[in-house]
Amino acid sequence: MNLSIGIVSYLITILVPIVSMPIIGKELSKNDIGIYFSFISLSTLVSIIVDFGYSISGFANSNLESISMSLSKMKINRVIGSLLSFFTLSIYAICFRFDFIDLCLVFILSCLLGFSNLWYFQTLNKMDVFYKSEILGKLLILFLYFFFKKYIESYTMAIIFFIMGTMASHIYLFFFHPELYNFRNLSIVSKGFKTIQPSSLLTRLIINSYVNANTVILSWFLAPHLIAGFGAAERIFRASSGIATPVYNQRIIRIKLALKTSGLEVERILLRDAAMLFLCGSIMGIALYFSTSMIANFIFKSSPEGFAANLHILCVVIPFAVCNGFVGLRWMVLVKREKEFTHFVITAAIINLITILYQIKIARSGLFGLGLLLGEFSLFILTVGFIIRGWYEKDA
């Protein structure tokens, strides 16, 4: 049941950019399209600070017996993360001089995206509730874009529609699990200070941020209309590479149980699943590659510069991105090999830096997808290499 509804949630997630972007492309100028994608990427990037790494450490360190204390830790992490994100966005707004309204919208969306409750439902093994909230939010986004498109006169209203859909997911969870949003018991919440893990925040920023950071950094150097095509291609790439998510959300529960018995079994599970998901990602990438022209014509009558070219490149990236999302970051956190994990993060940080510098170098060519190809392929080699290394070390 959980896997079936997870697949439905994934299919709707793919539909959101494919259905909503033709409307955005028709109603907005290319300049506004570029600003829209830049702000969505900025919100996703800042949401990592709001989350404060708890989407990583929450599931790894929680169980049914300690779920109440885990909730307390999550709440204090959210408070600190929200304050840090507002401070970060305020500095960003001053440096790049965007409106107070834009600042508020990006902050609200960052908080909604960063308040991740996935770990809670994984611990309770109630993923169907989480998926239903996701489906509700995505359907509302599609409904608003489709039936109220005449109100999309600027990127601001397009972002507001996105916020309303994301908020609907949280409202659904609030009605069925109000304990996730209850901040009244401060005496319990205050205990969370002792278990804040900034390293989880740093890890997410280093390993998960570079896809969104690319769009944000490119917006510093290029006019918005020049990154509109890449932004559109990148949203489809992100939705498509989520093909592993429903499977991963189920398998990580098994991985956590396997850790209590045999670490070698964990690596066998990961390598086997990585091969399967690489195949699934390849099929998705091939299908998207050959339908790129049709998608380009469907989304934009006159495609923004570089949309089809970048989407072609990102189709090649999908298999690597699928595997990275499945066997990468959380495996290293769950296994808790501190020295090996430190090496992993440092190497990933170097890869991200090289990727971003390469993006800036090729910015004028418009083929920004080449930077993501370099980054995802390098992380894929790094991730699988660390897993194989751990396997042989234990076998020895």
306 and 177 in a single domain? The answer is no
382 and 319 in a single domain? The answer is yes
What integer pLDDT is reported at residue 192 of this predicted model?
43
Q: Give 66-113 pLDDT, tens digit per residue.
A: 677 777 777 777 788 888 888 888 888 888 777 888 888 999 999 898
- Whole-prediction pTM: 0.83
352 and 386 in a single domain? The answer is yes
232 and 188 in a single domain? The answer is no
Q: How many separate domains does the chain show?
A: 2
CA distances from 234 to 102, 211, 218, 237, 307 (A): 22, 8, 13, 5, 9
What integer pLDDT is reported at residue 186 of this predicted model?
47
10 and 155 in a single domain? The answer is yes
| H or E element, residue 156 | helix 155-176
148 and 254 in a single domain? The answer is no
The last residue of one of the domains, among 200, 223, 248, is 200
Q: Give 155-197 pLDDT, tens digit per residue.
A: 889 899 999 999 999 999 888 888 787 766 544 444 444 445 5
The last residue of one of the domains, among 200, 230, 256, is 200
Spell out the residues 6+ positions from residue 111 whose beta carbon is closer than 8 angstroms to its own. 47, 50, 82, 85
128 and 271 in a single domain? The answer is no
74 and 178 in a single domain? The answer is yes
The last residue of one of the domains, among 200, 229, 254, is 200
82 and 100 in a single domain? The answer is yes
Q: Give 15-73 pLDDT, tens digit per residue.
A: 888 778 778 877 888 888 888 888 888 888 888 888 776 766 666 666 666 677 777 77
217 and 316 in a single domain? The answer is yes
Q: How confident is the model at residue 366 (pLDDT cuts 50, 70, 90)?
A: low
* Domain extent for 217: 209-396
Q: Give 192-239 pLDDT, tens digit per residue.
A: 444 455 556 666 666 666 666 777 777 777 777 777 777 888 888 888
CA–CA gap between residue 385 and residue 381 (Å, rounded) = 6
Q: Give 245-263 pLDDT, tens digit per residue.
A: 777 777 776 666 666 665 5
127 and 224 in a single domain? The answer is no
Long-range contacts of 371-378 (CB under 8 A, 24+ apart): 371/214, 372/211, 372/214, 372/234, 372/237, 372/313, 372/314, 372/317, 373/313, 373/314, 373/316, 373/317, 375/210, 375/211, 375/351, 376/317, 376/320, 376/321, 376/324, 377/317, 377/320, 378/351, 378/354
pLDDT exceeding 90 applies to what percent of the chain?
Answer: 6
171 and 316 in a single domain? The answer is no
Lowest model confidence (mean pLDDT) among 99-108, 118-127, 224-233, 299-308: 299-308
Residue pair 227/368 in contact (Cβ under 8 Å)? The answer is yes
How far apart, in Å, do the first and last CA atoms of the chain sit? 40
